[in-house]
A and B are shown apart, each in its own frame.
Chain A
């Protein structure tokens, strides 16, 4: 039986490797082809080797026979665009979204932190980040075998989620680079307007190394679908994969790795740094909601690269992610606005922008797994939850998360991760999880799926909280976290960067 499955996979690779295919359409064809090919291949294997060795022989034969897959140009083109779109999310999207929310005297400090964190992470990702996140090692931390992108060439390949479909490894490196760069940049909103620039950079290096990279490795590292041919090879892949991947945790585009991770770091930073001077007494109104709207819109557009790009191929699942990203965000924008409107406030631009970001965060882990109705429900529900945290819990607990990184990203991310476990259910319109052994949609088990989701959420919270706390304490001892009171009152633009954003 095992041999039969490996032959089936071999046939699938040989016959369909050159064309992108979806399971639903091509399975009957593959099955039909298998029936013809099984007799020949099985006979050949049986002749060549004694019976006990037959099992080992199958992979050898596969390795010898399978031609090197050639990346599809459509997939590659889409992933180049997606990578650029995620870059657009960070610079200038996130920078402007955050920048508009701070006071005028701190505008440049926020733009500068975002811009430089992106650049710093891009270099670190190349030096060791990619290797630590995406090579084997332990289930928690990869190795240094691909440090400085050793072994990555224009010919080397990165796996996708379909058997026999690959993209250039450089493209996978670049796409994942943008994720590694945006995640630390998200955190700055929590300690905006008061942290030393040097301390920000030092903290980010530590956090990136010990919180982001392990989380990315745990959730996303696996050998790719072609490594799974039968139950035995599935076990090998699971044993070699990241810890949360092996548990079956679903995170399509980074709800745990990016949003819970960054959001929790923001909460810890807000507590460790303390409140801004004058918090609760002086007016700390956003200096330009116009720029915040521009930034939120760039985030929304860039997020298509983030979510649909996380499919790694241009196919129906990418389209599903695209649709879900749009409607969940739209629903969340509406629900935030109505919560404000029916409450004591007016329907505000900041509320609409906040709702959009909350919707984007919540649909991130779910976008390739749930159906459109699930996406609408996720969007409608996430905004009231985030609104409650941003407008009530923050004041009850008394932390100064300046731009609501925790209230939007961590809370929206946690809700999204749990909702993914619910709405992935094909019975609720979800796309389900692919079973690479049977090459179909796996049976849905609510208890098992939710256990995996909760495990991933708790892991992200604990890891990020512990690493953030230790990193902040180290930086506090070495550099000091906060600027002087005088500098804070004067504004970080002139005191930290020696320039002003606006000249009246």
Chain B
């Protein structure tokens, strides 16, 4: 099993969710996050007081999948989240050791 964590532009969330649904992903978790990468921040000025905003708002999307779906999922996120401009985000892939469904006690791929 794989655990995919993707940082994307907030306004791309709906497109990504749709693309993942289309390839059969059953569920995702979404968090509003802040951070910086190559895009860096921007500057705000309030009556001459200058603030460098380092952390830009992004959306973190997490999805747990069976191994054979990985390529499809990565491809779907890459295509739907891309604008071609700096700040489009990143996709992190982890090996997932175990999954439990709390209600039924199922484990492994059945619990996904």
Residues of A at under 8 Å CB distance from B? 283-286, 345-346, 348, 350-351, 354, 387, 390-392, 394-395, 404
Contact = CB atoms under 8 A, between A and B. Distances in A.
B51 A390 contact: no
B38 interface: no
B32 to A, nearest CB: 11
Contacts of B53: 283
Contact of B48 (A285, A286, A346, A395): A395
A345 B51 contact: no
Contacts of A394: 48
A391 B48 CA distance: 5
A390 B45 CA distance: 12
Contacts of A351: 47
A350 B48 contact: no
Contacts of A404: 47
Contact of A354 (B44, B47, B49): B47
A283 B48 contact: no
Contact of B45 (A346, A354, A387, A392): A346
B5 to A, nearest CB: 24
A285 B47 contact: no
B92 interface: no
16 contacts: A283-B51, A283-B53, A284-B49, A285-B44, A285-B46, A285-B51, A345-B48, A346-B45, A348-B45, A348-B46, A350-B47, A387-B48, A390-B48, A391-B47, A392-B48, A395-B48
Contacts of A345: 45, 48
Contacts of A391: 47-48
A286 B46 CA distance: 8
A390 B46 contact: no
Contacts of A395: 48
A351 B53 CA distance: 19
Contacts of A348: 45-46
A318 B112 CA distance: 75
Contacts of A387: 48
Interface in B44-72: 44-49, 51, 53
A354 B47 CA distance: 8
Contacts of B46: 285-286, 348, 350
Contacts of A284: 49
A193 to B, nearest CB: 14
B38 to A, nearest CB: 22
A230 to B, nearest CB: 53
Contacts of B51: 283, 285
A51 B46 CA distance: 73
Given A283-B51, A348-B45, A390-B48, 9 more contacts: A284-B49, A285-B44, A285-B51, A348-B46, A354-B47, A390-B47, A391-B48, A394-B48, A404-B47
A280 to B, nearest CB: 9
A348 B46 CA distance: 8
A128 B33 CA distance: 56
Contacts of A392: 48
Interface in B12-66: 44-49, 51, 53
A288 B45 CA distance: 14
Contacts of B47: 350-351, 354, 390-391, 404
A392 B46 CA distance: 13
A175 B93 CA distance: 69
B51 to A, nearest CB: 5
B41 to A, nearest CB: 11
A100 to B, nearest CB: 11
Nearest to A280: B49
A284 B50 CA distance: 10
A396 to B, nearest CB: 11
A283 B51 CA distance: 6
A285 B53 CA distance: 11
A387 B46 CA distance: 11
A345 B51 CA distance: 12
A346 B45 CA distance: 8
B2 to A, nearest CB: 33
A411 B12 CA distance: 48
Nearest to B48: A391
B31 to A, nearest CB: 14
A324 to B, nearest CB: 26
Contacts of B44: 285
Nearest to B47: A390
A350 B47 CA distance: 7
A208 to B, nearest CB: 28
Contacts of A286: 46
Nearest to A282: B51
A392 B45 CA distance: 13
Contacts of B49: 284
Contacts of A283: 51, 53
B34 to A, nearest CB: 13
B53 to A, nearest CB: 8
Instruction: Kindly name the residue among B46, B48, B53 whose own CB sees the greatest number of chain A CB atoms within 10 A.
Output: B48
Nearest to A354: B47
B20 to A, nearest CB: 27
A348 B44 CA distance: 10
Nearest to A386: B47
Nearest to B54: A283
B85 to A, nearest CB: 21
B87 to A, nearest CB: 20
A399 to B, nearest CB: 13
